[in-house]
Structure 1
Amino acid sequence: MDIITTHIGADFDALASMIAAKRLYPEAVLVFPGSQEKSVRNYLAQEFRNIYAFKKIKHIDIDKVQRLIVVDTRQADRIGRLAECATNPAVTVHLYDHHPDTETDLRGSQEIVEPVGSTTTIFTRLFQEKNIVPSPDEATLMALGIYEDTGSFLHSSTCPEDLAAASWLLTHGANLDIITQFISRELSSEQISLLGQLRQEAHTYVIRGVTVVVSKLTMPDYIDDFSVLVQRLMVLDNIDVVFALLSMGERTYLIARSRIPEVNVGTIAREFGGGGHATAASATVRNLTIVEAEEQLISLLHRHVRPKAMAGEIMSAPVITVTPEVSIDQANQLMTRYNVTVLPVVRTNSDGNGENPCGLLGMISRRVAEKAIFHKLGNIPVADYMTTDIATIPESGTLFDIQRLIVENRQRLLPVTRDDDIVGVITRTDLLALLVNDPAHLSLDLLRSDERPSIERTRHLSSVMTQVLPKNVIVLLREIGEIAEQQGCNAYVAGGFVRDLILQVQNTDIDIVIEGDGIRLAKALAAQRHGIVHPHEKFGTATVIFPDQSRIDVATARLEYYDHPAAMPTVEHSSTKLDLYRRDFTINAMAIHLNPKRFGILVDYFNSQNDLKERRIQVLHNLSFVEDPTRIFRAIRFESRLDFTITKHTEKLIKNTVQMNLFDRVEEPRFFHELKLILSEDNPIPALRRMAALKLFPFLWPDLRPNLKIDRRFLHFLTQANQAISWFKLLYLPDKIEPWMVYLLAIMSRSRTKELIAFCNRFSLPPRQRRKLIAQKTEAERVAQEMQKRPFLRPSETYWLLHELDIEGLLYLMAIARKRYIQQAVSHYVTTWRNVVPLVRGDELKAMGYIPGPLFRTIRNHLIEVQLDGQVGSREDALSFIQSTYPPGAALS
């Protein structure tokens, strides 16, 4: 293997150089030879995204190292046990360092040593020469290494190359806030005390959607360099905007810091007679007490804070529109199909193909359409009755603008426009969700402490992802987000993956949703990871299979509508919001942003977190089961697997669907797929009980007796099947089994074979599975009857009775066995007897003069029998048995 290492007591320059070297040697393993500085450990624990796996020296086999890459040192005594590799002639050594030469330096086949302020500067130059672009996290860490080793460019060892390297890293996303957090001088005990007071007196204000922290202190004497404490407060508490009002002696001072464009602290400081930059400013406040100064500051903030642009972030896109010549009947059908209440009316591009809507003309509502249809005007174009006096908002519109326009104009739908073209819409529901999502807009009296987590609909899940997911999955998700960013689209991971992540359950079944071209992204990902892509153009989806045979599904954000109850869905491209709305249950209708700037932010439009918190299964709309009855089986499966409860309303909708008898309209393989998933659970019995209670058995097994229910005998067979499967899994044998087959056979244990055949035909089971089920049922039940009649079978007799059964058939036999001795015999067969091989091999029989043929097989089978029955226990006994029972002369004749 190749190893990248550095000196013991690694600092940021060492860590950054290791990570940079990893880009040059992607197959190499990162190994710390010993401890790291405390600040580095804190960085790895808090800030670094854990996208690289570091190995401990004790887990490395020194003898397998082929190449050693050493960074930020050339001293053998500073790399611990890895010095054995450095002095081994069979190991290739590459060195990267910026320290002065010494006589004890290691020597390597490649040495890049330059007298600059940090080793990271050398790697930055190599990145530029090799056209390697660092990620923002890598750029931040590399800049951190340069800032630390140059003392923020104040050490005498600093070179122009260091400044140039830092500048280049800043252009590639290096985050100065993070660098400031880890590169700062120690505070005195007095300063620490003052910092504690500053934090204690801090108060948070939300002004026009922007969070601002204001702290004020009164001290008897002037304290120098207080701005350092304000900066430290900002970093420690991750504050975007902070103002400190300090009454020291006879004067009051204002110190301000901001790192967001919405607040220019220089402008506010000038109002107090001071000045500064947009991000850092100060003033001496005259003729005001500290209380009066705070009041004036809050007033100025209300005047000068520029609210965040939000329209472009919260809008739904693409927009479902109609053109003016579309009839009111057609428009009403569209609104029903897509479950919307208003449709924008647009003109089309000059090419006339109608594919690229532009130019907003008006809006038609469902209420107007239904009234027009009532008056027999359904064939009239929407242009005749659309509303034309409508307000619009640009993508840069603020929350205040959105509120004002929706409230003042009483619009259900607020179009978002760009150069007269409609690019998205904001609904009243979107606005309400946004307001509820921000506790600053709600009275604290309305919120109990246990309710607060449920309103965090855009919470950040990066820390949860780090705790729950393997590092390779996090790396994959980040890559997908970066590719999406490059292609100008948005990427999300959605569905059950997000549900299990919030429940802190690992799930590597990754479902990616793309607002854009999902197939294009899948192809780019496959090319980048040397995988294979299987596109499905009709649905805008693709499956990417990686070299390790792992896979992910990539889909273009889409919506589904159903032409009639229980129909197969028709799919169209849509937005993430509508894509989530088509999901089965609220707990599966969440997504997580993957694009770099918003990586890890949860998207929850339907209050799904509350349902997770309350452990309940709930549909997204009342016609969900009518459109797709197979969702009933998914509801039951999730209820059983997650130990959740189907809500009363959802259960009522299930019962309504059962009464409507829609199951015969669904393609039978879809039902069987859901049933198979239920029977593949670790314990499907609770789900089967639920299915029986909801009267679903007659739809699955119409050929069975009408009074089929989970009685004591039925439950006994299922319980024994569960115990048999659990027992087999604990053996950890290499045999693969399909548990659903065992449960299905147990369910149909009191049915005739022809009823199983009818079941297979109805659900269109593949021929292999059909043949296996019928054969195992027939043979296992025959064997059960035979063993019931003959309780004292020899091992060899049991062997020949059972050898035609697969593992599924054997476990089914254990499930239906009425006597304990039958189960014991099967367990002996599975664990021991079926693996018995003759003590004399076939080539030995040939050497003894036996010719392969019927007698040859007879001898081998007879030998297995006497071995099983204990009559032969060694090879010598076996040879003697063969020679006496089957004389060689007889064999030759």
Structure 2
Amino acid sequence: MKNCPHKLIVFPHNADLDHLGAARCMLLMNPDAAMLHPVRFHQNTWDTARRLDWFKTIKFENVDFASLQTVYLVGITHLKQNQEFIEAVAKFSPHIVVISDRSATLPFPVEAELCDAMSLTAWLVNRLRDKQLHFSSEDLQMFRLAVTEKTWAGLSARIKAEDHKAIAFLDRQTMQPGRIANTVVLGMHEGQTALYRQMLKNIEDIQPGYWPVTLIAIKVSNLVQDIEPVVDAIWSDISPPVLLLILTFGNFTRVWCRSSISQIDFRDVFADFRPGRMRNWIHFSFSGAGHEQNRSRVLQHLEKNLQPDLTAGDIMSASPQCIDWHASVRNAFDTMLKFNIMSLIVMQNGEFAGIVTRRDLDRALQMNLLDSEIGPYVPTSVPIVSPTTPVRVLKNLMVRYNLTRLPVLNGSEVVGIITTHELLRSLPDYLPLPHDFLPLAEQASLPTVAELEKLLKLVFSLRIYRVLQQIGRFAGQHGVNAFAVGGFVRDLLLERQNFDIDIVVIGDAMPFAIALSREFSCDYKVYDRFHTARIYLEDLKIDFSSARIEHYSDPGALPQIEFSGLSNDLYRRDFTINSLALSLNPEHFLELKDFFGGYNDLINRRIRILHSFSFLEDPTRLFRAIRFAGRFNFALEQDTQRAFELAINREAPEKLSLKRIGAEISRCLNEERPQQIVADLFSAGLMKYLSPEMLDADILPGRFKLIRSLIRRFKPLGEDIDSEAIFWTGILSVIRNDNTEKILDALGTPHSRRRLVLEALTVMKTVPAAIIKIEETDTTDLYYLLHELSLEAMLSLMAFSLDKRNARKILHFIMYLRGIKCEISGKDLIEIGIKPGPHMRRIFTHIIELKLNGSQFTREEELALAKQLYQNL
């Protein structure tokens, strides 16, 4: 029998909860409408819909299309979403309304209601609110389920303002929490209902890794086949953050688990059991000895593999600065200024007594108490936490007691301090940022451990991965925290190879590196002054340093060093892109630590200092800023550019020795594009600190920018060419006054390079005039002019002193004449009876001249010729 509704609501194939919620909204707006029976629903959507009183549908074959006046297509925008219905209705002419978030392409004209929301239900709920329609508790619960599923509980990146508006409205409504679940329960068969009630009687709370886990572990006498409605009902009724269900029948155990906490992924926790996934549930089964033994097995696995909640030990700044109870207020002030910190741990008789902050000292200063003991003014009633205190507890303590700092004690030993900075960094973002504020606050998401593991194996090798893994495992076994830091981490994220591996150890790095070298059975070297060490692992050199804090007695001076925590160690770095760290300890292996936004700066290709006095504190950072900007094609961030210009205006590089300036320029000369970086050094006004004449890059020889390509041209020779010596030759060749040797000495130039540079500068004054007079066919004169010169000197001549015609003569010499030499030596001549003397030189010269003119001799022929020449003398 045909049904004759005038209005019809139609679902797409495979409709989800959002489509069901949208259909309910349309039904509330049009109470006289009917719903077409769906061809397919998502399983959870059908489980919900079939138990709702209002979900009454008509089948396709019972629709009287001729009587239809209005059709509402919920989320249908193209033919294949419900082809049978669309082809049928196209033969008639009802008014078609499409409710969707995108434009429709259908074979007939439609009225489009474009929803500016991710969830159709959210958009329609907001429209219904405008009409002041009443919602039942069941409707509100169903709407919440629909919007939550569609928007990923509000966490989707595509969520819009209308979605937020609906979520906020639904969160404010009073509704029975288990309404939908109870509807499901009422439809369960007797065995499911009995199981549901047994579960509710066996709820217990456990805290593995300080996480709030609700455990239900029961032994059943009858195995229930269709358990999914039961576990859904339990989840809906008690609404726990984390739920673990263990059901044992005989020796057979089934486990269902679910978490609303993003940090807990049960697929990883129970990976050994090869779990399956059903909607939001992770489930698996196994056989064992019995209920108690199987329960213990699951819980032991949970304890072992569930990453603990963040604790004070994970986020604290280790090795905080301490001061004695009897020290003066003035001493406390000086210590804070020295280490650029805002609080000090106060110790009395070797035990923790309290914390004094800069604000406390400012009050003492106002009262003229600078020379008083600090002890009487130290607040002592401060909550004390241990390294295992969860971050959630720290937050509660700070809010409750209005604190900005908390001391961390391991027994009676002060091991760290936590400020609001560390706490805020550690708190996860459960919701995406509002779109209106994204330009202000959006940061690039840090790569996950899995992504970094894949990247490490791709950029480097499995060997490097395993070495880092071994170092981390060794650190964990010895109760030490170790981190890969600096350029290695930066270049890994940029997918560039960098085998200069730097490891920071919280504590003293020297004994750790020595013990590790024994583990690896390799050599090591220690540097007592800086508490650093290096191990030599086959072809790898791995540097170890203690996490430390630096302070500068004067601008440009070398830093003084004391032990510190990781964040303080990274804060002393030159730029944010070099302040990244990778945890190596097994429990946090390859977790990226980014305290200062370095990863975001890498993504945005910018160089940024960590504080505004950075360039004044260490002017060598001016050279490094230019070098890194040139190497990575980055730009200086706005405040960094302003600080750079301020340091130049204040002549900060004048504080540097010529040796330190030369070392920074040398590093620039070893980059892939040294000519561009040197030009940038000129533009920044930094080269004048090498010599006052260095004001403009135009002063350099015209072919200075071609040195790198010139050197590459001679790479097939297979000889080591000191490119830095050639670059320095070009730079120093433009200095007018004759103090090149003094400059090279002041630069601390290695002896071998110093000799090459001086040789090149000397021949650049003498060889050009001589080589012009030599004809291209005169190989003998060309040979004797050049044969004693180093390859670096000849390349310097070609680059800086000669025109193309005469440069070709040197090229001809290098390619064809430079290798010509005698096969015999003076010792060979003595052995055949020729007495030592000047005639030996004449013999060698004669043989070489014959070779230059095309003759070729074996060693025996050279000996015979030498004997003949000697007899003819």
TM interval, shorter chain, is: 0.5 to 0.7
Contact kept, 8 Å, 2:556 with 2:653, in 1: the verdict is yes
> After superposition, what is the alpha-carbon deviation per residue over 1:41-84, rounded to whole angstroms, capped at 9, x for unaligned?
xxxxxxxxxxxxxxxxxxxxxxxxxxxxxxxxxxxxxxxxxxxx
Aligned residue in 2 for 1:586: 576
Aligned residue in 2 for 1:648: 638
Contact kept, 8 Å, 1:262 with 1:305, in 2: the verdict is no
1:269 correspondence with 2:192 = no
Which of 842, 855, 859 is the equivalent residue of 1:858?
A: 842
1:725 correspondence with 2:711 = yes
TM-score of the two chains, using structure 1 as the length reference = 0.64
CA deviation after TM superposition for structure 1 residue 763, in Å? 2.3
The total of aligned residue pairs comes to: 627
Aligned residue in 2 for 1:518: 509
1:671 correspondence with 2:657 = no
Which of 458, 462, 469 is the equivalent residue of 1:467?
A: 458
Bigger radius of gyration: 2
Instruction: State the one-letter code of the partner of 1:834.
Output: R
SS of the aligned residue for 2:697 comes to coil
CA deviation after TM superposition for structure 1 residue 580, in Å? 1.0
Aligned residue in 1 for 2:696: 709
Q: Distance in 2 between matches of 1:373 and 1:263?
A: 43
Aligned residue in 2 for 1:10: none
- How has the CA–CA distance of structure 1 residues 844 and 246 changed in structure 2, closer, same or farther, with 3 Å as cutoff? farther
Aligned residue in 1 for 2:500: 509
Contact kept, 8 Å, 1:863 with 1:878, in 2: the verdict is no
SS of the aligned residue for 1:462 comes to helix
Q: How does 1:415-814 map to 2 (within 5 A)?
A: 415-419=407-411, 421-435=413-427, 438-440=428-430, 442-443=432-433, 445=435, 454-456=444-446, 459=449, 461-546=452-537, 548=538, 550-702=540-692, 705=693, 708-711=695-698, 714=700, 716-729=702-715, 731=716, 733-752=717-736, 754-790=738-774, 792=776, 794-814=778-798
1:348 correspondence with 2:349 = yes
SS of the aligned residue for 2:795 comes to helix
Q: Distance in 2 between matches of 1:868 and 1:480?
A: 60
Aligned residue in 2 for 1:815: 799
1:295 correspondence with 2:277 = no
Aligned residue in 1 for 2:820: 836
C-alpha RMSD over aligned residues: 3.9
> After superposition, what is the alpha-carbon deviation per residue over 1:425-454, rounded to whole angstroms, capped at 9, x for unaligned?
11111122122xx23155465797999872
Contact kept, 8 Å, 1:258 with 1:264, in 2: the verdict is no
Q: Distance in 2 between matches of 1:466 and 1:451?
A: 32
Q: Distance in 1 between matches of 2:775 and 2:872?
A: 37
SS of the aligned residue for 1:322 comes to strand
**Aligned-residue identity in percent:** 28
CA deviation after TM superposition for structure 1 residue 575, in Å? 1.2
Instruction: State the one-letter code of the partner of 1:602.
Output: L
Q: Distance in 2 between matches of 1:722 and 1:791?
A: 29
Instruction: State the one-letter code of the partner of 1:572.
Output: E
Instruction: State the one-letter code of the partner of 1:697.
Output: M
Aligned residue in 2 for 1:308: 309
Contact kept, 8 Å, 2:205 with 2:215, in 1: the verdict is no
Q: Distance in 2 between matches of 1:259 and 1:804?
A: 83
Q: Distance in 1 between matches of 2:570 and 2:648?
A: 25
CA deviation after TM superposition for structure 1 residue 887, in Å? 4.2
Contact kept, 8 Å, 2:484 with 2:502, in 1: the verdict is yes
> After superposition, what is the alpha-carbon deviation per residue over 1:165-193, rounded to whole angstroms, capped at 9, x for unaligned?
xxxxxxxxxxxxxxxxxxxxxxxxxxxxx
CA deviation after TM superposition for structure 1 residue 684, in Å? 0.7
Q: Distance in 1 between matches of 2:226 and 2:210?
A: 20
Q: Distance in 2 between matches of 1:574 and 1:419?
A: 20
Q: Distance in 1 between matches of 2:636 and 2:484?
A: 25
TM-score of the two chains, using structure 2 as the length reference = 0.65
Which of 347, 357, 368 is the equivalent residue of 1:376?
A: 368
- How has the CA–CA distance of structure 1 residues 563 and 752 changed in structure 2, closer, same or farther, with 3 Å as cutoff? same
Instruction: State the one-letter code of the partner of 2:430.
Output: A
Which moved further from structure 2: 440-449 or 502-511? Answer: 440-449
CA deviation after TM superposition for structure 1 residue 572, in Å? 0.8
- How has the CA–CA distance of structure 1 residues 258 and 472 changed in structure 2, closer, same or farther, with 3 Å as cutoff? farther
Contact kept, 8 Å, 1:721 with 1:746, in 2: the verdict is no
Q: Distance in 1 between matches of 2:655 and 2:859?
A: 68
SS of the aligned residue for 2:709 comes to helix
Q: Distance in 1 between matches of 2:838 and 2:205?
A: 91
- How has the CA–CA distance of structure 1 residues 846 and 671 changed in structure 2, closer, same or farther, with 3 Å as cutoff? same
- How has the CA–CA distance of structure 1 residues 257 and 468 changed in structure 2, closer, same or farther, with 3 Å as cutoff? farther
Q: How does 1:117-136 map to 2 (within 5 A)?
A: none
Instruction: State the one-letter code of the partner of 2:723.
Output: P
Aligned residue in 2 for 1:179: none
1:889 correspondence with 2:836 = no
CA deviation after TM superposition for structure 1 residue 661, in Å? 2.2
Q: Distance in 1 between matches of 2:232 and 2:536?
A: 64
SS of the aligned residue for 2:610 comes to coil
- How has the CA–CA distance of structure 1 residues 300 and 788 changed in structure 2, closer, same or farther, with 3 Å as cutoff? closer
Instruction: State the one-letter code of the partner of 2:634.
Output: F
CA deviation after TM superposition for structure 1 residue 556, in Å? 1.4
Q: Distance in 2 between matches of 1:496 and 1:721?
A: 27
CA deviation after TM superposition for structure 1 residue 734, in Å? 3.2
Q: Distance in 2 between matches of 1:640 and 1:246?
A: 67
Aligned residue in 1 for 2:168: none
Contact kept, 8 Å, 1:462 with 1:601, in 2: the verdict is no
- How has the CA–CA distance of structure 1 residues 260 and 305 changed in structure 2, closer, same or farther, with 3 Å as cutoff? farther
CA deviation after TM superposition for structure 1 residue 602, in Å? 1.4
Contact kept, 8 Å, 1:457 with 1:604, in 2: the verdict is no
Q: Distance in 2 between matches of 1:458 and 1:430?
A: 20
Contact kept, 8 Å, 1:753 with 1:774, in 2: the verdict is no
1:409 correspondence with 2:410 = no
CA deviation after TM superposition for structure 1 residue 747, in Å? 1.7
CA deviation after TM superposition for structure 1 residue 890, in Å? 3.1
Contact kept, 8 Å, 1:717 with 1:746, in 2: the verdict is no
CA deviation after TM superposition for structure 1 residue 612, in Å? 0.7
SS of the aligned residue for 1:394 comes to coil
Contact kept, 8 Å, 1:285 with 1:293, in 2: the verdict is no
Q: How does 1:357-372 map to 2 (within 5 A)?
A: 358-359=351-352, 361-372=353-364
Instruction: State the one-letter code of the partner of 1:825.
Output: K
- How has the CA–CA distance of structure 1 residues 314 and 850 changed in structure 2, closer, same or farther, with 3 Å as cutoff? same
Contact kept, 8 Å, 1:309 with 1:395, in 2: the verdict is no
Q: Distance in 2 between matches of 1:264 and 1:768?
A: 63
Contact kept, 8 Å, 1:266 with 1:275, in 2: the verdict is no
- How has the CA–CA distance of structure 1 residues 668 and 816 changed in structure 2, closer, same or farther, with 3 Å as cutoff? closer
Unaligned ranges ≥5, structure 1: 1-199, 208-244, 350-357
> After superposition, what is the alpha-carbon deviation per residue over 1:769-800, rounded to whole angstroms, capped at 9, x for unaligned?
33332222112331123223445462222222
CA deviation after TM superposition for structure 1 residue 363, in Å? 2.0
CA deviation after TM superposition for structure 1 residue 375, in Å? 4.1
Q: Distance in 2 between matches of 1:876 and 1:323?
A: 83
Aligned residue in 2 for 1:167: none
